[in-house]
Amino acid sequence: MSVALVLTLLAIALLVLGASLCTFLGRQDRAALAVGTGTSVAASLAGIAGAAWALVQRTEETLVLPWRMPVGAVSIGLDPLSAFFLLCIFLVSGLSAIYGEGYLRGFAGRRRVAAAPAFSGLLAASMAGVALARDGVLFLLAWEAMSLSSFFLVTFEGDREETRRAGIVYLVASHVGVVPLLVLFVLLAVPAGSFGFADIAGAGIARAGLATAAFVLALLGFGLKAGFWPLHAWLPEAHPAAPSSVSAVMSGVMIKMGIYGLLRTLTFLPDPPAWWGVAMICVGIVSGVGGVLHALAQHDLKRLLAWHSVENVGIIAMGIGVGIVGRANGHHTVAFLGFSGALLHVLNHGLFKGLLFQGAGSVLHATGTKDIDSLGGLMHRMPVTGATFLAGSAAIAGLPPLNGFVSELLIYAGAFTGAVELASPDGLWTLSVVPALALIGGLAAACFVKAFGVVFLGEPRTPAAGRAHEASASMQGAMVAGATLCAVIGVAPLLAMRLVEGPGAFVAGGGGLPGGVGTLLAAVTRVSAALVAGLAVLAALRRVLLRRRDVRRSATWGCGYEAPTARMQYTAASFADPVLKPGEFLFDRHRHADLPEGYFPRAARVESHRGDLAADRVIRPAVNGLLTLFRWAGFLQAGGVPRYLVWVLLTVVVLLVWQMGASW
Partner 1 sequence: MSLDADLLLLLVIGIDLFIGSTGRLVARIRACALQGLVLAALPLAIQGTGVLTGGQRIAHTGMAVLATLLLKAVAIPALLVYAMRKSGVHRETQPETSLHLSLLMCGILVGLSFWIGAVMLPSAGAGSSPLGVPAGLATLLVGLYLTVTGRTEITQVIGYLVLENGVFVIGQRVLGEFPLVVELGVLLDVLVAVMLMAVLVVFANRHPEDEAQDAPAAAIGGRR
Partner 2 sequence: MSVVIDIAVQAGLLILLPLPMLGLINVVKSRVAGRRGPPLLQPVFDVLRLLRKGAVYSRTTTWVFAFGPMIGLVATFLAGLIVPSAFPTSPFGFPADVFVVAYLLGLGRFFTMASALDTGSAFEGMGASREAAFSAMAEPALLLALMILCIPSRVPSFGDAFSALPAAGGLLRSPGLMLAALALGVVLLAETARIPVDDPNTHLELTMIHEVMVLDHSGPDFAFIQIGYAMKMYVLGAVLVHLVLPIPQDGWAAPALFIVGQAAVAIEIGVIESIMARLRLSRVPQLLIGACVVAAVGVLVLFTGGRP
Min dist CB 591 to partner 1, Å, is: 13
Q: Which of residues 351-380 bind partner 2 (CB under 8 A)?
A: 376-377, 379-380
627 lies in the site for partner 2, by CB under 8 A: no
Min dist CB 573 to partner 1, Å, is: 17
For the purposes of burial, counting CB atoms within 10 Å of the CB of 183, is it exposed (0-12), middle (13-18) or buried (19 or more)?
middle
Indicate which single residue of 204, 330, 534, 601 sits in contact with partner 2 (rule: CB under 8 A). 534
Cα separation, 56 vs 464, whole angstroms: 49
Cα separation, 180 vs 183, whole angstroms: 5
Min dist CB 583 to partner 1, Å, is: 8
Maximum Cα–Cα distance across the chain: 109
Min dist CB 504 to partner 2, Å, is: 17
487 lies in the site for partner 2, by CB under 8 A: no
Residue 578: name its binding partner from partner 1, partner 2, none (Cβ under 5 to 8 Å by kind): partner 2
Q: Which of residues 113-142 bind partner 2 (CB under 8 A)?
A: none
For 227-271, the DSSP string reads T-TTTTTTHHHHHHHS-HHHHHHIIIIITHHHHHHHHHHHHHSSS
For the purposes of burial, counting CB atoms within 10 Å of the CB of 422, is it exposed (0-12), middle (13-18) or buried (19 or more)?
buried
Residue 577: name its binding partner from partner 1, partner 2, none (Cβ under 5 to 8 Å by kind): partner 2
Q: Which helix (H) or strand (E) holds 63?
A: strand 61-69
Indicate which single residue of 459, 464, 470, 623 sits in contact with partner 2 (rule: CB under 8 A). 459
Min dist CB 533 to partner 2, Å, is: 9
For the purposes of burial, counting CB atoms within 10 Å of the CB of 405, is it exposed (0-12), middle (13-18) or buried (19 or more)?
buried
- Judged by CB, which is closer to partner 2: 222, or 352? 352
- Judged by CB, which is closer to partner 2: 176, or 457? 457
Cα of 422 vs its chain's centroid, Å: 31
Indicate which single residue of 446, 483, 489, 615 sits in contact with partner 2 (rule: CB under 8 A). 446
On the question of a cis peptide bond just before residue 460, with omega within 30 degrees of 0, the verdict is: no
Instruction: With beta carbons less than 8 A apart as the criterion, state whether 55 and 126 touch.
Output: no
- Judged by CB, which is closer to partner 2: 170, or 575? 575
Instruction: With beta carbons less than 8 A apart as the criterion, state whether 378 and 462 touch.
Output: no
Cα separation, 392 vs 483, whole angstroms: 7
Residue 584: name its binding partner from partner 2, partner 1, none (Cβ under 5 to 8 Å by kind): partner 1
69 lies in the site for partner 2, by CB under 8 A: no
Cα separation, 309 vs 298, whole angstroms: 13
Residue 172: name its binding partner from partner 1, partner 2, none (Cβ under 5 to 8 Å by kind): none
Residue 68: name its binding partner from partner 1, partner 2, none (Cβ under 5 to 8 Å by kind): none
253 lies in the site for partner 2, by CB under 8 A: no
Q: Which of residues 412-431 bind partner 2 (CB under 8 A)?
A: 412-413, 416, 419-420, 424, 427-428, 431
Q: Which of residues 561-620 bind partner 2 (CB under 8 A)?
A: 564, 566, 568-570, 574-579, 581-582
Residue 531: name its binding partner from partner 1, partner 2, none (Cβ under 5 to 8 Å by kind): partner 2
CA dihedral of residues 648, 653, 655, 659 (deg, nearest 10):
160
DSSP-derived letter for residue 13 is H
How many CA atoms within 13 Å lie on the side-chain side of 100? 36
Residue closest to 57 by CA, chosen among 49, 46, 67: 49
- Judged by CB, which is closer to partner 2: 335, or 521? 521
Q: Which helix (H) or strand (E) holds 531?
A: helix 517-546
Stretch that binds partner 2, among 186-194, 198-206, 267-275, 447-455 (CB under 8 A): 447-455
- Judged by CB, which is closer to partner 2: 435, or 601? 435
Residues that bind partner 1 (CB under 8 A): 424-425, 581-585
Indicate which single residue of 68, 207, 552, 591 sits in contact with partner 2 (rule: CB under 8 A). 552
Min dist CB 405 to partner 2, Å, is: 6
- Judged by CB, which is closer to partner 1: 424, or 663? 424
Residue 585: name its binding partner from partner 2, partner 1, none (Cβ under 5 to 8 Å by kind): partner 1
**Strand, coil or helix: 66:** strand
Indicate which single residue of 167, 196, 252, 453 sits in contact with partner 2 (rule: CB under 8 A). 453
Binding mask 493-532 for partner 2 (x = CB under 8 A): -----------------------x--xx--xx-xx--xx-
Min dist CB 436 to partner 1, Å, is: 14
Q: Residue 371 forms beta bridges with which residues?
A: 300
Instruction: With beta carbons less than 8 A apart as the criterion, state whether 218 and 261 touch.
Output: yes
Residue 436: name its binding partner from partner 2, partner 1, none (Cβ under 5 to 8 Å by kind): partner 2
- Judged by CB, which is closer to partner 2: 196, or 376? 376
Residues in binding contact with partner 2, number by CB under 8 A? 83
445 lies in the site for partner 2, by CB under 8 A: yes
Residue 419: name its binding partner from partner 2, partner 1, none (Cβ under 5 to 8 Å by kind): partner 2
Query: Amino acid identity, residue 253?
Result: V
For the purposes of burial, counting CB atoms within 10 Å of the CB of 235, is it exposed (0-12), middle (13-18) or buried (19 or more)?
buried
Cα separation, 250 vs 152, whole angstroms: 12
Instruction: With beta carbons less than 8 A apart as the criterion, state whether 157 and 243 touch.
Output: yes
Min dist CB 604 to partner 1, Å, is: 22
